Structure 1
C-alpha cells in the first residue's frame, strides 16, 4: 500500500470533519463555538489527570449546582469537546453512602496494582531497549567487514519492498508478535499504525476502542477524585490526528494538598480501570458469553465452515465468492472444529521455515490419458521471477505424477534458479478440478486410477504460485433470490468451487470471513466480526495503557505516581522517627517537666513532605529518555523489517 493510499483517506476524513463543524457553526449562526472549561490549547496526549494542561480554567473554574456549560475547540487535525455537565454525576457516584466502603477497597486495590504495574512496565521497557540494542549490534556485525566478498554480494542483491498485510489484532498487543514470521516477531513493542501494522478497514474499530479505553481510564480518575472530595472542573473527549481519547480536568492545587495515599488513589485509578476493562473483556470472550449473546439475537456459531463477510474488489475472487457464502473446504482440508484457525493455518505461511514451500501433502487427481502430452511444457518451468511458470496461457497449470508414499517430487534444476519437475504435464486445471463436481481422486490408501487415466497432482515450488481450491456453499436465502431472477430453468448448484492460483496469503488478506452465520438475510454479516475486533482492540489498548501509562515518565500517570509514592515513603519514615523520638522522650518527660514532649509534638506537627527529590527526578528523566528511545527504536525497526527486507 503506497503512501498516497494512506494520506488520502486521512486528509479526506479531516476535511469532512472541518466542513461539518463549519456548516454547524453557520447553521447555528454562531461564528465561533464556545470554548468551554478545560479546553485550553494544551493537553496531555495520553489520557491522564490534567492539572496544568487544562489552562487557567482548570485551576479555578467552578459551576453552580445543577448548571452545566460546554465548549468545542477546533484546530487543524484537532477537535476537543468539554463539558461540566457530568461533574454532579461523578460527585454523587463517588460519595454514594451505599458505595463508600466499596470505593475505598476498590481504589486501595488500584494503588497496589499501580505500583506493581509500574515495576512491570519499567521492566518491559528495559527489556525492549535491550532487544533493540542487541538487534542493532547484530545488524552492524553482519555488515562488517564491508570489503568482504560476501558483504559485496549482499549489497549487490536488490532490496524488495515487502507488501503491507493484514494482521491479527490479538497479536499486536505489547510484548506479542504478529503471525507469519515477518521479521518483526522479535519486537517487544509493536507500534499500531493504521494501514501499516493493522489494516485501514479496521480503523473504525481502532478509534472506538481507543475512545472506550480513554473514557474508562478518565472515569476512574473522576470517581476517585470525587470520593476524595476533589472537584472535577470539566470532562470531555478529543480527537488529535488519529488519536481519540478523553480527559478529566482536576485542580492541580487541590491534588497537591491531598495526602500521598489520596493522591495515589486518584492517580492509579485510571490504569486500574483499564486493567479491569481488559480482564472483563477477556472473560467475556473466553467464557463463551460473546457467542451466546450473538446467538440470542440471531447469529449461530459454525463448526464446519466460515462465512464470507467481504471480498476486496481488487481480488480475482471478488466475482466468485459472494457475501454470505460459506467456505466448507480448502484443497483437501475441511474447515471443521475451529474453522477460523484451520482457515488461517492453510493460507498463512508457517511461523518457522522458509515462506516458499513445496508441494502440499494432498491427494491426486485421475487425469485421462487424452489430456496428457497435449500442451507445451513451459508452464512447468519455474523461476523466482516467474513463480506461475513461463507459459502465457493462464488456464493451464503444472501437474506431476502422484507418489502415494508422500515423497516430494524431485525437480530438475538449471543454473540454480530455474526449476523443472520430472514428468511435469501442463493441463487445463479448470477441466480437471471444476468441470466435475466429484472428480475421480487417487489417495494414499487407493493410489490407482482407472485404466484410461493416471494419477497426477498440482505442483508449484513456490507458495506465490500455489493452486488453491476453494469449495463453498451458497446460503439458502441467496439461492432463492438467484432462482427468481434467473431465466434458465436449470437450478443453480448450491455446492460450488473456485480455483485460485497465486499466494494463499493473498486470499487471507482480501477475503474477510467469520465463523458466525446469520439466521436471517436482513442481519448484517459484518456485525459479529466488527464487535469482536472492537473488543479485541479494546483489550489491547487497555492493557497497553494499564502497563505503559504508569511508568514514571513525564506527562504520564507514572510521573504523579512516583512523586506521591516517594512522599508516602518519606512520611512513613518521618512518622516512624518522630514516634520513636516521642517514646524515648517519655522517660524524661517527668524529669524535664514535659518540655521534651512539647518539642517532639511541635516537630511532628511541622513535618512536611518533600515536593521532589533528586532521586525521583532522576528516575523520571531516565525513564522518559528510555521510553522515547524504545518508541523511536521500535518504529525504526518496524520500518526496516517492513520496507527493506531482502
Structure 2
C-alpha cells in the first residue's frame, strides 16, 4: 500500500470516529457514554486519548519494593539533567546559527562548497511519512516512539509515587499516527512539594530517556562483536533486499543472499567497500574490459557510420529491433595508448558493436588501456552517456541464480534483452530510501556538482523477455538454450567464461543501484539464521537513540508545555527564595520560557526547511 493512501485511510478513520462520537454524545446515548467513561476515552479531531487507573497499585508496589534504588536513580537523574540543560541550549542555538551561516544563497552554484555543507542534515529534523520516511520504516518508528514515550512517563509516575504524590491515572494518546503516553498528577500536590523532590519527579522522564538512548547506543555498537558465532564478515556484501523497481532485478540480475565481491575490478569486502566502489565508478570515467580479438572479429555488428547521441554516447549499432542485433548490443570504444598521429597503426576499428554479456564473459580483466591487456586482447570501453556506467558485478550466488542458462556465441544474435527504464518503473510507485542511504546519495551527488540524475536512461542487461526466460515461467523450452555446463559433475569446455556468465551487468547510474539494493556485512553461518537480523536490530537500537534522545533534548530546554518549562520554573523559584519578589520571578519565568520556546521553534523550522521533494525519488511520467 502506498504511504499516501495509508495516511488518507488514517485521516478518514479519525474523522469517522470524531463525527460518530459527536453524534452519539449529542443524542445522549447512555450505553456509549458509559463505555467511553469506563475506558477514559477522549476523541478530538485527529486525536485519541485513553486513560486508566489500573496501574496505580502496581506503580506503588514497584516503588516500595525498591526504595533505595529508585531514590538513588532519581537523585542521579536530577544531577545529570541539570548538568545537561545549558549544553542542550547551546547545542540548539549552534544548530540554528550554523544553518544560517551555511545555507546557500541564490547566487551559489550547485556543487559549491556552501552547497556541499548545506547537504548535512540538521540536529532536529521532522519525520514526515512520504518524504523522509518510507512505509517499511513506519511501523518500527511508531513502536520505538511509543516505547520511548512510555518509559519517559513511567519515570514521572514512579518518582511521583516515591515522593508521596498520588497518580490520578496513566494513559496513551495518538496524534494522527504518532503515539505517546501521559501521566496525570494532581497539580496541588506538586505545588506543595519542596524544590528538590519536585525536580526528582520532573527530571525522571528526561533521565529515563537519556539512559534508554545510552543503552541502545551501546547495544548497537556491541552487536557486531556478539554476532561472530552466528555470522561471518569480510566475505563480501550480502544482498538483503532489492527494491521492487530496481534495475538490478532480473533472471540474470541480483538475488537476495547473493554475495557481491567485485564491481568493475574494485574489490568488495563489506557494505562500506560496496558503497566506495560505486562512488569510485561514479566519479571516474567508464572503465574498459580486455576483450579477445577473436570475440570482436566474430561478433562485431558495427554500422558504417557511427554517430554521437544526445547523451554524448557514440551509437555504432543498428536499432535494437533491427535484424541480427539484439537490445543487449552496446557500442564499445577502443582505448589505446598511442597518440592520434599513430592511431592508424591500430589494427581494428575504433568502435565495435558487441553483445555486452557475450563479450564481457571472455573479458576477466578490467583496464584503462590496451597495454594493460594480455596478448591478442584489446581494451574496449562501452560508450555511455555522462550519467551512465556499465558495471560488471561479480557475485557468488547463494540463491537459484545459477539455474539461469548461459547463452553461447552461436545464439548471441537471437538473444533479445528488454530495456528496463527506471523512470517508467518509478511512475506511481515511488521508492523511499532510508535516511542513511539518502545522506550518502546526496554526498555522491554533491561531489559531482549535481550533474547526475540517477533516474535517467537506466536499463538492465539482466532481463530477458518473458517468453524466452525459463526463470519467469514454468514449462519453457529449455532445449533452445546452449548450456556451458555439459556434464553432471560441472565440467565445461570454457572454464574461464563460466563464472563470468554469473556476473550481473548493469547499465545506468551507480547512484540508482546504490539506492535500490540493500546489502549487509553479515553472512549467516547457518541457513536457519535470519539474513539481515543484525542490521535490523541495529536499526531498532538507532531508532531508540533518535527518538529517546530527541525526547530528552526537547524536554530539557524550557519550552512551553514541556518538562523543561516546569524544571526551569522550579529552578527559578528555588534560586529566588528570599531574594526576589513574585513579580520578578514571574517575569524571569516568562522570559526563560519564551527564549526556550523560540529556540525549539527555530530548530523545527530549520529541520522543515532541510526537507524537500528531492529527498525522495523523483516522480516522473
Q: Same fold (TM over 0.5)?
A: yes
Structure 2 unaligned residues grouped into runs of 5+: 21-29, 321-326, 341-348, 405-469, 491-497
Q: Per the alignment, in what secondary structure is the counterpart of residue 191 of structure 1?
A: coil
Alpha-carbon distance in 2 for matches of 1:35, 1:557: 29
SS of corresponding position for 1:80: strand
- Please show how residues 412-561 of structure 1 align to structure 2 within 5 Å: 423=350, 425-433=352-360, 435-436=361-362, 439-441=363-365, 447-458=371-382, 460=384, 462=386, 464-475=387-398, 496-519=502-525, 521=527, 524-525=530-531, 527-561=533-567
Partner of 2:248: 317
Please list the CA deviations of residues 139-194 of structure 1 after superposition, one character each: whole Å capped at 9, or x if unmatched.
26x38xxxxxxxxxx9xxxx9xxxxxxxxxxxxxxxxxxxx969431634333323
Residue 616 of structure 1 and its aligned partner are, at CA, apart by 1.9
Contact kept, 8 Å, 1:404 with 1:444, in 2: the verdict is no
Equivalent position of 2:74 in the other structure: 107
Other-structure match for 1:117: 84
Structure 1 segments unaligned to the other structure (5+ residues): 24-28, 37-68, 144-153, 160-179, 351-355, 410-421, 578-606
Post-superposition Cα deviations, 1:506-534, rounded to whole Å, max 9, x if no partner, equal 12222222233445556553544332221
Structure 1 residues 75 and 549 mapped into 2: Cα distance closer, same or farther (>3 Å)?
same
What is the rounded CA distance, in whole Å, between the counterparts of 1:17 and 1:386 in structure 2?
Answer: 53
RMSD: 4.5
Counterpart in 1 of 2:588?
Answer: 615
1:192–1:198 Cα contact (<8 Å) kept: yes
**Residue deviations 1:220-274 (CA, integer Å, cap 9, x gap):** 1111111111112222223212312221221222111111111111111111111
**Shift of the alpha carbon at 1:465?**
0.8
Contact 1:366 1:441 in 2 (8 A): no
Q: Tell me, what secondary structure is at the counterpart of 1:206?
A: helix
1:306 maps to 237
CA distance in 2, matches of 1:448, 1:365: 12
Contact 1:379 1:426 (8 Å CA) reproduced: no
SS in 1 for 2:544: helix
CA contact (8 A) 1:349 1:505 kept: no
Counterpart contact for 1:388–1:502, Cα < 8 Å:
no
Q: Deviations over 1:545-594 (max 9, x none)?
A: 222221011011110110011122123xx3xx8xxxxxxxxxxxxxxxxx
Residue aligning to 2:194: 259
- Decide whether aligned partners of structure 1 residues 623 and 17 sit closer, same or farther in structure 2, where only a CA change above 3 A counts: closer
CA distance in 2: counterparts of 1:188 and 1:84, whole angstroms: 38
Matched, 1:198 2:133: yes
1:229 is aligned to 2:235:
no
Q: Would the alpha carbon gap of residues 614 and 444 (structure 1) be closer, same or farther in structure 2, given more than 3 Å must change? A: same
Question: Which residue does 1:335 correspond to in 2?
Answer: 268
Which SS does the other structure have where 2:283 is aligned? Answer: coil
Task: State the secondary structure of the residue aligned to 2:244.
Answer: coil
SS at match of 1:126: helix
Contact 1:33 1:71 in 2 (8 A): no
Distance 1:537 1:22 in 2: 35
- Supply the distance in 2 between the matched residues of 1:562 and 1:188 (Cα, whole angstroms): 23
Q: Which has the higher contact order (CA 8 A, sep 6+)?
A: 2
How many residue pairs get aligned? The number is 504
- Residues 188-215 of structure 1, C-alpha deviations (whole Å, 9 max, x = no match): 4333323322333211111122112112
Q: TM (normalized to structure 1)? A: 0.66
Partner of 2:185: 250
Distance in 1 between the 2:124 and 2:93 partners? 11
1:268-314 CA-to-partner distances (Å, cap 9, x unmatched) read 111111111111111112123x662x667xx4233212332222221
Q: Partner residue of 1:34?
A: 35
State TM-score, norm by structure 2.
0.69
